[in-house]
Amino acid sequence: MTYSVARDYIAHNIRCVCISPARVHTPFVDGYLRENYSGREQEIYERFAKAQPVGRMGRPEEVATFALLTFALFLCSDAAAFITGVDYPLDGGFLNLRG
């Protein structure tokens, strides 16, 4: 969708980028595990965490910090005027480092 929006609006000098966080440990994840894996929450949590090459899920503040520093301060500035139609995966190496 990012690529499509970037193509559709490039003639209007509108750029489009996105951030794609992978597994982030939030209350939603805890509720999901409780609802779908009752009694096995810790086991499944560890499986999800170990699926990330860094060995853990992300933390909400890591996503927020990346989004604030990268998007607000750089990607929305004129310094990033040549960047559009791209996805920034924030995934602990999941897409590129899996074995």
Q: Which domains does the chain have, with CATH numbers?
A: 2-97 (3.40.50.720)
**Cα 15 from Cα 2, distance rounded (Å):** 9
Cβ–Cβ contacts within 10 Å for residue 55, how many?
11
Q: How far is CA 38 from the centre of its chain?
A: 27
Give the pLDDT score at 99.
61
Tokens coding 39: 């009694």
Q: What is the pTM of this model?
A: 0.69
Q: Is 83 exposed, middle or buried (0-12, 13-18, 19+ CB in 10 A)?
A: middle
E strand segments, the chain:
17-21, 86-90
3-state secondary structure of 6: helix
Q: What is the pLDDT along the chain (99 residues), one digit of tens a residue?
A: 999 999 999 999 999 998 888 889 999 999 999 999 999 999 999 999 998 889 999 999 888 887 777 777 888 889 999 999 998 888 888 887 766
